Structure 1
Amino acid sequence: MTTITETMASDHRHCDEFFAKAEELIAEGSWEQGRDAFKAFHDATENHFTMEEGILFPNFEQRTGQTMGPTQMMRMEHTQMRQLMADMEAAVTYEDEERYLGLSETLMMVMQQHNMKEEQMLYPMTDQVFAGDAEATLREMKML
């Protein structure tokens, strides 16, 4: 049986690969390819957030009655990461390598801490709460 933890942690790695590729290309000054790689990272990350905020978090909150717990903190961190990504997008538009790489470093730290909290705390909690329904929830998230 596939778990929420395994699936969502794998999606984190998928987003990380796009992130690293964009950073590498932009550091090389390959702006056209870097722009495409950043868009792929942005789209993959936004899709990940949408799966969590649209399906996983509300279903978890409904089953546990916890609306002010870890899901609220994750949403706040998503907002912070969205702002950093918007600032990075502007840096890509203006081909401002120094700004992009500085923001990239900040986002990397935020993402690492965020992903660790989800993978070590929230996702295992969802696996317990959803138990036999995990695969149905994963199918629902993939339909978004």
Structure 2
Amino acid sequence: MVFEASIAIFCFIPLCFFLFMNPRDNLLRNWPVLGMLPGLLVEFHRIYEFSVEILRSSNLTFTFKGPWYSGMDMLFTVDQANIHHIVSSNFSNYTKGPDFREVFDVLGDGILTADSELWKNLRKASKFMFSH
């Protein structure tokens, strides 16, 4: 019973993978449990070109869905208006949080790791230094 089930699973998974992963239909398919990770791993050998294709086809902003409950959901954007919105005009809405601060603790309280008022003050100071 176990042997037959394992054979069925090993035959079913590649079949589903190749039937449903048609690159002409959709560059990354969102699988029920695995998210978009299988499609990304298939194209990992040419990750730069693949990411350019995805961003072009998705109007310069793409939402990547990782496996369920993994915390790998990400937003990728190369749209200048979105980057300006996040980095300059509404920076206070996009805080880095304690996890970011813990990972980049070696950088201290510089402009790369600062949030809120400290970031605004550091940005004004650096803007002044670069303009003169």
Shared fold by TM > 0.5?
no
**TM bucket normalised to smaller:** under 0.3
- In the superposition, the TM-score normalised over structure 2's length comes to 0.25
The structure where helix makes up a greater share of residues is 1
Greater strand fraction, Structure 1 or Structure 2: 2
Tell me the TM-score normalized by structure 1.
0.24
Whose relative contact order is higher, 1 or 2, with alpha carbons under 8 Å and at least 6 apart?
1
Looking at CA atoms only, which structure, 1 or 2, has the larger radius of gyration?
2
